[in-house]
Amino acid sequence: MQYREVDATREFLLRLETGADWRTEIEEFADLEDIDAAWFQAMGAVQDAEVWFYDQDDTEYQSVRFDEPLEVAACVGNVADLGGERFAHTHAVLSRPSGQSLAGHLNAATVFAGEVYLRAFEEPLTRDHDETTDLDLWL
């Protein structure tokens, strides 16, 4: 197990722009505010979504695309450095009008409406390749 104590330095509330990409909006905000590490929670709705599922046997992401309006029932993630860029690692639970839930790593989604609470940390987070999982995990 790896762990560290972090000091929260700033807290923000964001309203994502309709028509923008959900994850890109968070990354651009982190760039704007010079945030190298953060944790966030969000909710809202998207016009479409690309969700990834990590196949642990093949050690590859499988992509599933949903070209339909979906509710963002829950969204959680963090901001860290990945290869010199700020990366918003984002997971979401999305729902259809029927109540059926879809969940996974939210790679991309077109914002209809989005509200984000983001808490920035003083200590940076950096992602690097982990040989065991073949994932980019924070150190």
DSSP string covering 63-125, please? Answer: EEEE-S-EEEEEEEEEEEEETTEEEEEEEEEEE-TT--EEEEEEEEEEEEEEEEEEEEESS--
**Which residue, 14, 91, 7, is CA-closest to 49?**
91
pLDDT by residue, tens only, the chain of 139 residues = 878 788 898 999 999 999 999 999 999 999 999 999 999 999 999 999 999 999 999 998 999 999 999 999 999 999 999 999 999 999 999 999 999 999 999 999 999 999 999 999 998 888 888 888 888 887 7
Domains defined for the chain, CATH in brackets: 23-122 (3.30.1330.80)
- Tokens at 85, concatenated: 């860029």
Residue 81 and residue 125: Cα distance in Å, rounded?
A: 6
